[in-house]
Amino acid sequence: MSTIAIVYHSGFGHTQALAEAVARGAESVASTKVSLIPVADAEARQAELDGADAIIFGSPTYMGGVSAEFAKFKDWTSKRWMEGAWRNKLAAGFTASASWNGDKHNTLYQLLTLALQHGMVWVGLGLPPGYNHSKGSAEDLNRLGASVGAMAQANADQGIEGIAASDFRTMEALGKRVADSARRWREQPLAQAA
Ligand SMILES: Cc1cc2nc3c(=O)[nH]c(=O)nc-3n(C[C@H](O)[C@H](O)[C@H](O)COP(=O)(O)O)c2cc1C
């Protein structure tokens, strides 16, 4: 059994709905247990984070980066960093914003940097970009063409009904990729660094 923790912040429900899609994708891989952890519960649920084979970080893009609540969680993780608690775990990330670009890439890079500071091993999205040729459409998987992690776009005046089905499928693909990777990772983890 491999375990995946998805730790996320969501101010208005979009990132939470995406986190649930990531979880669905991960749970589609046999022998995978998923914990969905809002950042507000991270301290109380530290054992689930410490025990996970992979941690997937999710934050909405607020003012071109992670939300303040996610940043508070990020800084709290320094306690886990001090103990090397997450070293050599797998990591991945996802984000949502209202604009098609919206500077989501910066958010993913913040998540990537957080993981690398912890000595984690980053799993990218691993999908070709969609919707970038004459026969493409908004229904394409990875329609926003990210590689560092998974991105979704939702109109500012809509709730989760504004999230494209293709973005949910992209999130599921990320969860599945991490869970597939975690299963292999468990069989032969990296040796702990000194
Ligand atoms: C404080 C704040 C800042 C935002 N900044 C951006 C931004 O920089 N780029 C963008 O495209 N959308 C921005 N948005 C829109 C959100 O990214 C978008 O609504 C997202 O889906 C919200 O996710 P959530 O419901 O999980 O909080 C911002 C929204 C808020 C509330």
Residue 194 confidence (pLDDT) above 70:
no
Atom of ligand 1 nearest to the CA of 16: 26
- How far from 154 is each of 13, 96, 140, 176, CA to CA, in Å? 11, 7, 16, 22
pLDDT single digits (tens) 7-58:
999 999 999 999 999 999 999 999 999 999 999 999 999 999 999 999 999 9
- Full set of structural domains in the chain with CATH: 2-187 (3.40.50.360)
The ligand 1 site (C-beta within 6 Å) comprises 10-15, 60-64, 96-99, 102-103, 154, 156
CA–centroid distance, 101 to ligand 1, in Å, is 11
Residue 129 contacts residue 72 (beta carbons within 8 Å):
no
Q: What pTM, to 2 d.p., does this model score? A: 0.98
Nearest CA to ligand 1 atom 2: 62
CA–centroid distance, 156 to ligand 1, in Å, is 7
